[in-house]
Structure 1
Amino acid sequence: MDLLERRMRIARLIAKELAGTIGEGEREELSRWLAEDGLHQEEYGRLKMSLEANDRVWEEQAAGRRMTDAYWERAKRRIRKQRRVAWSKYAAAIVLPLAITAFWLMNRETPRVQVPVRTAAITHGVVKAQLQLADGRKVELNDTTRLCIKETGGAEIQTSDKMVKYTGRDTVEMPLTGEDRYNTLIVPRGGEFALELADGTRVWLNSESTLKYPVHFAGNRREVVMTGEGYFEVEKDAGRPFIVAVNGVNVRVLGTSFNISAYNEKVVTTLVEGKVQLQKGIDSVTLTPDQQGIWQAGKSGFEVKRVEARNYSLWREGIFCFEDTDLETILDAMARWYNVNIFYMNPSLKSMKFSVEVKRYENIEQILRKIEQTKRVEFDIKDRSVIVRE
């Protein structure tokens, strides 16, 4: 599909979304286009607000046609001034708003039975996850799942009380199979779950996170691999350090409580109690309670700063807590928990700082209105999208 064809296709999808006739597959296609480039999100936001703000114009079809015709005539005059080789690029730039106008008019003119349009309900996340076993089996979990699964080597997996729990004595011997057997807990967008590992260590996983871990911790090591965000309460074992591998950073502990957030190219480790050592290549740093270690791609070494550590783990107690945090980080957390898309009318809004403490199970609209009370930013909610504007 060439550039012009794709722009026409996207224009049709935006118009269908505004008219409330877009299908699920089409909505996913539009979401992929929006995710490709921040400029797409800005263009989408401007067009959407312009059309919705001037909805009264479309009630008069003749006026709407005149607007479309005038737009096209102006465009053609400008195009004639461009060199032929620039046609495709220039036409692609103008076709989106023009085509949306045309598709919108056609949609409004088509006679059909009026059916009330349902706006997708935005609800908070729930307790849910998928457990992938070493033998390939997959088990869907929620807050009512009650299962007992036998594992090779004598371990049992029990799922109850919103937690996956491994029972049976952990071992320092190698498994009979001669190799470690790994399970993976996957928490999707809009979910959360917890588990207790074979050594007694407890882990709470936030939305859009995974944890890969052995059924038994064999030998003198305890190592897991994580993506996303997790809170760890590590069982003490002086002879076997516990290691969390995340985005190339190793977090090494003996017995402690800490939070790790690594949704992008930044790994943020916040120590609640005990002591942890962070290592990335030849760089390493040791944290003490209420310290935070940050490793970011493209920067050398670890940044260490003092924080109120408890604030970074309140999410597992049902509270969003952000202290002097940029709006992008805050809304990214909301997007994962409420499973929504965020669009910024102006990219500079992402860096604005806010301090927010709200209940994690509140309606998202109530949370956004609290941020709006600062008079620095406003939000519009459309279906499963949140548009951010000044």
Structure 2
Amino acid sequence: MNAFNHQKELQKIIQRYVLGTATPDEILFVEKYYQYLDKNPDILEQFNADEIARLADVNFTAIKSKINLNEKRKTVNLYKYISAAAILLVIAGTTFVFLYKTKSGLKRDSAIHKQLDILPGTNKAILTLADGSKIVLDEHTAANISDKDGLKISKTNEGQLVYTVLDQSHLKLGSAIAYNTIQTPKGGQYQVILPDGTKVWLNAASSLKYPEVFSGNIRSVELTGEAYFEVAKNKARPFHVKNHHQDVEVLGTHFNINSYLDDNTIKTTLLEGRVRISNGQSVKILKPGEQAIAEVSGDGIITVATGVDADDETAWKNGLFQFNNADLKSVLSQLERWYDVDIDYHTIPNKKYNGMVPRKSKLSDVLKMLEKTGNIRFEIAEGKKLKVLPGK
């Protein structure tokens, strides 16, 4: 697809957006892309005014009236942004987007073998009940999983596991707590609505252990991997998320925890409310827009970063990879979990990426965009082993 066709395809998407006929994916693309550029205006610096004037041909006023951006941010210069989009975007289908900024500019795509056409992850997980029985959760699993002792466990076709307490009279003080565990594999994700109404989104290669019914004065769950929480408010019963290195205490709030064991850091990002984080060495209280970072193998001290872009940390929940000056190793580790491939990290160069990629894209589409510098290429060996090689 040449630059002219890129521009025409982009204009078609925007036209459908303005007319109200865009698909949900196209709506997400337009709005997320403009918000992304609003926060990263330096991406446009490499283009001159003549290029912008020549490529721009869309109804900016109509778009601006439909996009609801945060009033605290500066007004989006839609004229510049859509022009830059015509230069920068390569659209596969109608939703694939990736931006890459490099001093040497964008280079020609290199060919990628068909064997790299690995499909993206899906809604799938394994549920382990209190009695040890395991249930595979996918589109073929029956909707009604369990209905006994006043507790109903069901699943939806949208990848959601729902716990509904119908009768708490069977619960007795001092009785043993029955735990369930939901685990997503590489290439899987799932959502859980816990018995108290708390919503949890699990990213790939993650697990959550929780009681079938919360009892006592504390609601406590255990997390490995990454999850986004919308905790049901209950001031009398604090909610705790524990993992291998820290404890997060909340009353009712929205936050994301990234605690993959192979990352060597735990990142807790707060979107709404307040949380208290402790690990035996340090205690921090977060406010919205802050992120706690704990080095697992270090001295245990928790540091707090302010002004964090929550969109970057929670994009996965909304069906996107979103990179903001992310190093290639970090980008590939996300692809490794989502596409269930093994990355050879020995030959990864020091490169930075900015952009957005729909998680429903095939692996080959994503890798083509990463190859755009012309300085790297990818190969898949037996066992879905992905190698990074110097560009030809």
| TM-score normalised per structure 1 | 0.65
Q: CA deviation at 1:273?
A: 1.2
2:154: which partner in 1?
158
1:130: which partner in 2?
126
1:207 counterpart SS class: coil
Matched, 1:370 2:366: no
Query: Using the alignment, how far apart are the partners of 1:299 and 1:284 within structure 2?
Result: 13
CA deviation profile, 1:258-295 (whole Å, cap 9, x unmatched): 11111123111111111111110041111111111111
1:101: which partner in 2?
none
For 1:191, the aligned partner's letter is G
Query: Using the alignment, how far apart are the partners of 1:329 and 1:165 within structure 2?
Result: 32
2:294: which partner in 1?
295
1:295 counterpart SS class: strand
Q: Residue 274 of structure 1 contacts residue 289 of structure 1 at CA under 8 Å; is this kept in 2?
A: yes
Q: Residue 320 of structure 1 contacts residue 360 of structure 1 at CA under 8 Å; is this kept in 2?
A: yes
Q: CA deviation at 1:145?
A: 2.7
Q: Residue 115 of structure 2 contacts residue 380 of structure 2 at CA under 8 Å; is this kept in 1?
A: no
Written as runs of structure 1 = structure 2, the 5 A alignment for 1:59-70 is none
Q: Residue 187 of structure 1 contacts residue 205 of structure 1 at CA under 8 Å; is this kept in 2?
A: yes
Q: Residue 269 of structure 2 contacts residue 292 of structure 2 at CA under 8 Å; is this kept in 1?
A: yes
Matched, 1:167 2:164: yes
1:229: which partner in 2?
226
For 1:358, the aligned partner's letter is V
Written as runs of structure 1 = structure 2, the 5 A alignment for 1:135-146 is 135-146=131-142
1:305: which partner in 2?
305
Q: Cα–Cα, structure 1 residues 279 and 321, in superposed 2: closer, same or farther, change >3 Å? A: same
Q: Cα–Cα, structure 1 residues 149 and 326, in superposed 2: closer, same or farther, change >3 Å? A: same
Query: Using the alignment, how far apart are the partners of 1:352 and 1:236 within structure 2?
Result: 42
Q: CA deviation at 1:211?
A: 0.4
Query: Using the alignment, how far apart are the partners of 2:177 and 2:147 within structure 1?
Result: 12
1:275: which partner in 2?
274
1:249: which partner in 2?
246
1:197: which partner in 2?
194
Matched, 1:266 2:228: no
Query: Using the alignment, how far apart are the partners of 1:181 and 1:214 within structure 2?
Result: 6
Gaps of 5+ in 1: 1-117
Q: Cα–Cα, structure 1 residues 175 and 122, in superposed 2: closer, same or farther, change >3 Å? A: farther
The structure in which a higher percent of residues are helix is 1
Matched, 1:317 2:318: yes
Q: CA deviation at 1:135?
A: 1.0
Q: Residue 200 of structure 2 contacts residue 227 of structure 2 at CA under 8 Å; is this kept in 1?
A: yes
Q: CA deviation at 1:376?
A: 4.6
Q: Cα–Cα, structure 1 residues 268 and 287, in superposed 2: closer, same or farther, change >3 Å? A: same
For 2:122, the aligned partner's letter is V
How many aligned residue pairs are there?
272
For 1:305, the aligned partner's letter is A
Q: Match for 2:143 among 140, 147, 151?
A: 147
Query: Using the alignment, how far apart are the partners of 1:376 and 1:309 within structure 2?
Result: 31
Identity of matched residues, %: 37
CA deviation profile, 1:356-387 (whole Å, cap 9, x unmatched): 31111111121122122234533223452221
| TM-score normalised per structure 2 | 0.65
Q: Residue 126 of structure 2 contacts residue 134 of structure 2 at CA under 8 Å; is this kept in 1?
A: yes
1:14: which partner in 2?
none
2:285: which partner in 1?
286
> Bigger radius of gyration, 1 or 2?
1
1:380 counterpart SS class: strand
Q: Residue 173 of structure 1 contacts residue 218 of structure 1 at CA under 8 Å; is this kept in 2?
A: no
Matched, 1:187 2:188: no
2:335 counterpart SS class: helix
Higher RCO (Cα < 8 Å, 6 or more apart):
2
For 1:186, the aligned partner's letter is Q
Q: Residue 343 of structure 1 contacts residue 388 of structure 1 at CA under 8 Å; is this kept in 2?
A: yes
Query: Using the alignment, how far apart are the partners of 2:246 and 2:366 within structure 1?
Result: 33
For 1:248, the aligned partner's letter is H
More off after superposition, 229-238 vs 157-166: 157-166
1:373 counterpart SS class: helix
For 2:227, the aligned partner's letter is G
Q: Residue 246 of structure 1 contacts residue 267 of structure 1 at CA under 8 Å; is this kept in 2?
A: no
